[in-house]
Amino acid sequence: MDQKKTKRRENKINGGKVVTSPFDLIWRLTLIIFLAELSIMIVLNAVPPVPQFTWPIFDAVLLIFLVFPWLYFLIFRPLTKEIAERKRAEKKLFESKVKVEAVFQGSGVGIRSIDSEFRIIEQNKEMDLLCNIERNEAIGRKCYELFGDSRCGTDECTLRQILSGKKQVDAEMERFTKNGKTVSVSLIATPLVNEKGDITGIIESFHNITKRKKIEKEKEALTKKLKHQAQTDGLTEAFNRQHLDSELKIEIQRAKRYKRPLSLIMLDIDHFKEVNDRCGHQAGDQVLKMITKSMKDIVRTSDFVGRYGGEEFLVVCTETAMDEALNLAKRMKKGIKGVHVLDKEGSLLKVTASFGVAQYSELEDFDKLIMKVDSALYKAKDEGRNTICCAED
């Protein structure tokens, strides 16, 4: 039954007409000749006797007159119509192929078809440009050899995903051309099926998004740069006051909610005006940078170090009680002792700083905590500078 259905499909052309088979033609021709000869025999028996030598002539004439119309209506005319229909169907098929080929080749995306053995079946001109290889050279080659990516050979392979039952694969990735160039693409892959509905491969379409990705990366880098500039002090690269205040408010809420310790260290460079006057403002800027680096080398990664004013710095010590913050301040004080500059006359000028340390109390808000650590700092200045004072609750 399946073979008969297949045969019927093979014998059909556009429009649903069935092409006359050679067996059908022979059968029709045999029937026509048989009927014509039978008709001649009947006629010869019905007419008066005629000379025997005229029988072949009479038979031939009657055969022509009887056979020709039947040949025309039963064979020639159907064949003529079938030929005309076939030509029209072939013309439409050719026009359709031309249109499909024009769309395929003129598409703004790279398209290629791949069989289940990873061999390239066909690809368009845009695909030639993407993978940097001509169509004739690409056909028959393995797809991963010409335009592969890091997923090739793994379960994430596009072909393997489709063969395992996935209806469509959409992804953005970086592919590598024959000459090693990296191209960012957006991929859509769908199954390639035969007339029985079996998956025999895939059709991949690639849209070149290299320029878009470049713009996105530049935009991301610019956003990161602007964010960094908005959060940091331009001279010291420490956090600025605005960002410190924002982070401190967050840490206060966290400490209050989870009952965790939080401490602040505020320091002020002693006699910084003297540094600027004796050594110049450039030397003063250098001192600010050196002190910032010294502090960053000492604090933990979870702490926030920032420039809070001209020569004033603030350290937000998360998950830190007073005694731990005091030890940290002592280490900072020791580190700052190593900072020194030469004045305009070549004399060595050592730099020191005064420190205030305070721990957050549950009844305090942002402003009270800042005031408390600031008071501890000024107490350290009043006690002779280059010292550390802790705030009292």
3: exposed, middle or buried (C-beta count within 10 Å: 0-12, 13-18, 19+)?
Answer: exposed
Query: Tell me: the pLDDT tens digits for 214-270?
Result: 999 999 999 999 999 999 999 999 999 999 999 999 999 999 999 999 999 999 999
- Both tokens of 93, joined, read 């098929």
Nearest to 188 by CA among 201, 206, 176: 206
**Of 86-95, 215-224, 293-302, 372-381, minimum mean pLDDT range:** 86-95
What is the Cα gyration radius of the chain? 47
Highest mean pLDDT among 54-63, 177-186, 300-309, 346-355: 300-309
CATH of 110-212, one of 1.10.3720.10, 3.30.450.20, 3.40.720.10, 1.10.4160.10: 3.30.450.20
Between CA 158 and CA 154 the distance in angstroms is: 9
Cβ-count burial 23-36 (b if 16+ within 10 Å, e if not):
eeeeebeeebeeeb
Residue 86 is predicted with a pLDDT of: 82
- Residue 80, pLDDT > 70, answer yes
Between CA 350 and CA 136 the distance in angstroms is: 77
70: exposed, middle or buried (C-beta count within 10 Å: 0-12, 13-18, 19+)?
Answer: middle
Residue 366 is predicted with a pLDDT of: 95
Task: Tell me, yes or no, if the pTM score tops 0.75.
Answer: no
Mean pLDDT of the chain: 85
pLDDT above 90 covers what percent of the chain? Answer: 50
Residue 54 is predicted with a pLDDT of: 66
Between 251 and 10, the more confident residue is: 251
153 contacts: CB under 8 Å, gap ≥ 6: 144
Residue 10 is predicted with a pLDDT of: 43
**Of 85-94, 181-190, 262-271, 362-371, minimum mean pLDDT range:** 85-94
- Residue 155, pLDDT > 60, answer yes
- Residue 8, pLDDT > 70, answer no
- Residue 76, pLDDT > 80, answer no
**Of 178-182, 184-188, 320-324, minimum mean pLDDT range:** 178-182
In the predicted model, what is the mean pLDDT of residues 32-37?
70
**Of 10-19, 230-239, 322-331, minimum mean pLDDT range:** 10-19
**pLDDT class for 66, splitting at 50, 70, 90?**
low
pLDDT above 70 covers what percent of the chain? Answer: 82
Residue 263 is predicted with a pLDDT of: 97
In the predicted model, what is the mean pLDDT of residues 43-69?
67
- Residue 6, pLDDT > 60, answer no
CATH of 232-390, one of 3.20.20.140, 3.30.70.270, 3.90.79.10, 3.40.50.300: 3.30.70.270
Residue 12 is predicted with a pLDDT of: 46
Query: CB neighbours (10 Å) of residue 225?
Result: 10
Between 329 and 130, the more confident residue is: 329
**pLDDT class for 191, splitting at 50, 70, 90?**
very high
- For the chain, the structural domain boundaries read 2-106, 110-212, 232-390
